């Protein structure tokens, strides 16, 4: 896409007519939530973005009643990255520094966020707190930025995701919660679970727990171990998902987290839907068998198959928000004013 095409797309930015899901909005915590008409800064801090993905992003934001802003660099490509590290870092910093930007939404995951963590300007971010939204590789940014600055970060769909009714409904946290928000299983994912094991819900360890939410993509959580950006999990509800990994690789990563003490003193462990991680050879261990075997020994409330991860129907978890979790039903409740 050339500069003229980019400018044409920018010119199409309008306030949509669709009401924010559930009508749940709050104006009490400026800088921590969004509302209809908020301006979203679009960034690609990891993998590169193509024109089709950008067009889908714009359609999503129009539908949600959000405005948007991005630079020509959004469509840059540098190998498998969305431009050189310094450029992607500067794009993110510019969005935080821009007083006209109300929130930042990552257009894509992929790989690349861990390359810029050491160079983030946490003072800049701390002085310009605003919502950051994404998942997958964005896990590294969400947890690091929230831990270092307290700036609001949301593990939810990327801006170019397919926004189903379920996903829209559970975007509510980014617009502010006026009451407790319950997250139940997606009916679509539940139906898939009748025939596909990776979509089926199962309790690993029974029980209920309350704590602050942290977590995200398993591969990224492992990659942060031993760094100054390692995710702090003591007394937390830890949520985990991954995509396209064979069960033995999930086993290896969970084993590393366990050996590193990552799950020591956690309140509960929530596993999402591990799309593409099923075992197709009937003579080998299935994904859920691996996860149950690894986690059962930890004796904390835990369950597999909650509706988040690389699936169309996915909920949004505010990093650091207080929530309750029932491992027997799989229901998560985001607590009012818990962020």
Q: Catalytic one among 185, 186, 310, 324?
A: 310
Which CATH number is 181-334 given?
Answer: 3.50.30.60
What pLDDT does 280 receive? 75
Does domain 3-163 fall into CATH 3.40.50.10740?
Answer: yes
Render pLDDT for 92-111 as a digit per residue (tens, 0 to 9): 999 999 999 999 999 999 99
Mean pLDDT of all residues in 118-137: 98
Render pLDDT for 16-28 as a digit per residue (tens, 0 to 9): 222 233 333 332 3
Laid out side by side, the sheet with 202-205 consists of 181-183, 332-334, 322-326, 208-217, 236-241, 268-273, 302-309, 202-205
Does 289 participate in catalysis according to the annotation? Answer: no
Does 136 participate in catalysis according to the annotation? Answer: yes
Beta-strand ranges (E) seen in the chain are 39-43, 67-69, 103-106, 132-134, 153-155, 181-183, 202-205, 208-217, 236-241, 268-273, 302-309, 317-318, 322-326, 332-334
What pLDDT does 263 receive? 98
Mean pLDDT of all residues in 290-294: 97
Render pLDDT for 39-74 as a digit per residue (tens, 0 to 9): 999 999 999 999 999 999 999 999 999 999 999 999
- Crossing angle of the two packed helices 3-11 and 51-64, in degrees rounded to 10: 10
What percent of the chain has pLDDT above 70?
Answer: 89
**Whole-number Å distance between alpha carbons of 308 and 315:** 5
Does 146 participate in catalysis according to the annotation? Answer: no
What pLDDT does 164 receive? 97
Indicate the domain borders of the chain. 3-163, 181-334
For the stretch 15-18, contacts whose Cβ atoms lie closer than 8 Å and that sit 24 or more positions apart, written own/partner, are 15/65, 15/66, 15/67, 16/61, 16/62, 16/63, 16/64, 16/65, 16/66, 17/65, 18/63, 18/64, 18/65
Q: Which tops the pLDDT comparison, 139 or 11?
A: 139
Q: In this model, does residue 13 exceed pLDDT 60?
A: no
Alpha helices in 174-246, H assignment, sequence order: 187-192, 218-223
Mean pLDDT of all residues in 144-164: 97
What pLDDT does 285 receive? 87
pTM given for the model: 0.90
- Crossing angle of the two packed helices 247-259 and 287-296, in degrees rounded to 10: 10
Mean pLDDT of all residues in 68-81: 96
Q: Catalytic one among 38, 160, 241, 292?
A: 241
What pLDDT does 338 receive? 56
**Whole-number Å distance between alpha carbons of 166 and 312:** 9
Q: Catalytic one among 91, 93, 136, 292?
A: 136
- Nearest CA to 222 among 331, 114, 109, 79? 114
What pLDDT does 282 receive? 67
At residue 36, the 3 state secondary structure works out as: coil
CB 224 within 8 A of CB 256: no
Paired strand residues for 316: none
- Report the run of H or E that residue 7 belongs to, with start and end: helix 3-11
**Whole-number Å distance between alpha carbons of 45 and 231:** 19
Render pLDDT for 214-227 as a digit per residue (tens, 0 to 9): 999 999 999 999 99
What pLDDT does 279 receive? 77
Mean pLDDT of all residues in 302-319: 97
Q: Provide the Cα torsion 252, 256, 257, 261; round to 10°.
A: 150
Q: In this model, does residue 329 exceed pLDDT 70?
A: yes
């Amino acid at each position: 896409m050339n500069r003229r095409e980019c400018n044409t797309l920018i010119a199409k930015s309008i306030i949509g007519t669709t009401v924010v899901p559930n009508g749940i909005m709050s104006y009490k915590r400026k800088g921590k939530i969004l509302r209809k008409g908020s301006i979203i800064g679009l960034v690609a801090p990891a993998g590169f973005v193509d024109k089709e993905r950008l067009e889908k992003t714009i359609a999503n934001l129009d539908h949600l009643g959000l405005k948007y802003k991005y630079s020509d660099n959004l469509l840059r490509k540098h190998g498998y990255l969305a431009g050189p590290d310094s450029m992607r870092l500067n794009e993110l910093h510019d969005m935080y520094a821009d007083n006209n930007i109300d929130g930042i939404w990552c257009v894509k995951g992929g790989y690349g966020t861990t390359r810029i963590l050491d160079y983030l300007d946490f003072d800049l971010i701390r002085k310009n707190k605003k919502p950051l939204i994404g998942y997958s590789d964005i896990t590294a940014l969400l947890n690091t930025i929230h831990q270092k600055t307290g700036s609001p970060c949301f593990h939810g769909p990327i801006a170019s995701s397919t926004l189903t009714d379920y996903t829209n409904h559970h975007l509510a946290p980014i617009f502010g919660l006026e009451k407790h928000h319950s997250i139940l299983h997606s009916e679509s994912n539940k139906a898939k679970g009748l025939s596909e094991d990776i979509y089926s819900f199962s309790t690993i360890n029974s029980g209920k727990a309350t704590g602050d939410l942290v977590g995200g993509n398993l591969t990224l959580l492992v990659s942060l171990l031993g760094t100054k950006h390692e995710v702090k999990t003591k007394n937390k509800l830890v949520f985990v998902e991954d995509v396209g990994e064979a069960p033995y690789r999930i086993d290896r990563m969970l084993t590393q987290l366990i050996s590193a003490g990552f799950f020591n003193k956690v309140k509960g462990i929530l596993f999402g839907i591990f799309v593409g991680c099923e075992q197709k050879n009937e003579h080998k261990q299935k994904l859920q068998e691996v996860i149950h075997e690894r986690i059962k020994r930890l004796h904390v409330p835990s369950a597999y198959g909650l509706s988040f991860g690389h699936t169309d129907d996915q909920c949004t978890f505010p990093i650091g928000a207080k929530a309750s979790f029932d491992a027997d039903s799989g229901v998560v409740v985001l607590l009012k004013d818990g962020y």
